[in-house]
Amino acid sequence: MGADHRDEGGTEALPHGSPLRPGRPEHPAHRRGFRESDLQIVQLAAGLYGRLAMKRVYYSAFVPVNTDPRLPATIGTPPLLREHRLYQADWLLRYYGFAAGELLDEERPNLDLSLDPKAGWALRHRHLFPVEVNRADLETLLRVPGIGVRSAQRIVRARRGGHLSLDDLAKLGVVMKRARYFLTARGRFAADLSPDAEALRARLTERTQRRDRWSQPSLFDATDGMDLQSVLTGEL
């Protein structure tokens, strides 16, 4: 795992046998030849951020450029979408206040490739939605799919001047295509499916199912503003 250190000290956050313990060369956190679950990788990243004050953790799917028996074995194509989901989970750890245990656990040790981890968390906690944006605190707003860090901060500032409408939210940068299923404004709900609707998961995964799941996510292949904004800003 490549990382940018703020300081060089302490290895208590690293599990026994970690490739980042002293005396071992650095390795990517996510390689096809390794058998770690996403839970192990995300927990390791959380430890690096929390205990070692590391600035950034990088993830890289192993992509073989030639054949050699000394290289890690690969099955099928490189897991590039898994790499993308790990980066999204990492973003939630760093900027959205999520803990590793909220995203993954022993019963669900790997990220859902068909759904970004923030939307996945929301679907597992449907009873918390919809959120009324004119009353919710910043921490709650950050848990709403489609509301990024900057848009959540804008909402908090803007509502000091009066109650916000659904139209106001789009102007503040909220991705309503996703957020509309999880929020209300002035008591108004804009979506045709409620948060507890069984069909909501299928609706949220339509975009991923249409795309080649093993292609490298690109800055330029998004077909709608939701995907492009997420790729450019990292906001979920």
Q: What pLDDT score does 90 carry?
A: 97
pLDDT in tens, 164-173: 999 999 999 9
pLDDT at 23 over 50: no
Q: What pLDDT score does 33 carry?
A: 45
pLDDT at 175 over 80: yes
Q: Which residue has the higher pLDDT, 24 or 44?
A: 44
| Nearest in space to 132 (alpha carbons), one of 163, 162, 175 | 163
Q: What pLDDT score does 91 carry?
A: 96
Q: What pLDDT score does 206 carry?
A: 76
Question: How large is the angle between the packed helices 80-95 and 38-50, nearest 10 degrees?
Answer: 30
pLDDT at 32 over 50: no
Q: Which of 183-192, 194-203, 212-221 has the lowest mean pLDDT?
A: 212-221
pLDDT at 143 over 70: yes
Q: What pLDDT score does 153 carry?
A: 97
Q: What pLDDT score does 171 carry?
A: 96
Q: What pLDDT score does 45 carry?
A: 97
pLDDT in tens, 105-137: 999 999 999 999 999 999 999 999 999 999 999
Buried b vs exposed e over 4-23: b needs ≥16 C-beta within 10 Å? eeeeeeeeebbeeebbbeee
pLDDT at 30 over 80: no
Q: What pLDDT score does 208 carry?
A: 58
Q: What pLDDT score does 228 carry?
A: 57
Q: What pLDDT score does 223 carry?
A: 42
Mean per-residue pLDDT over the chain, rounded: 82
Q: Which residue has the higher pLDDT, 104 or 18?
A: 104
Q: Which residue has the higher pLDDT, 85 or 16?
A: 85
Q: What is the pTM of this model?
A: 0.77
Q: What pLDDT score does 76 carry?
A: 76
Distance, in Å, from the CA atom of 81 to the CA atom of 213, rounded to the nearest integer, reads 6
Q: Which two tokens stand for residue 218?
A: 């690109």
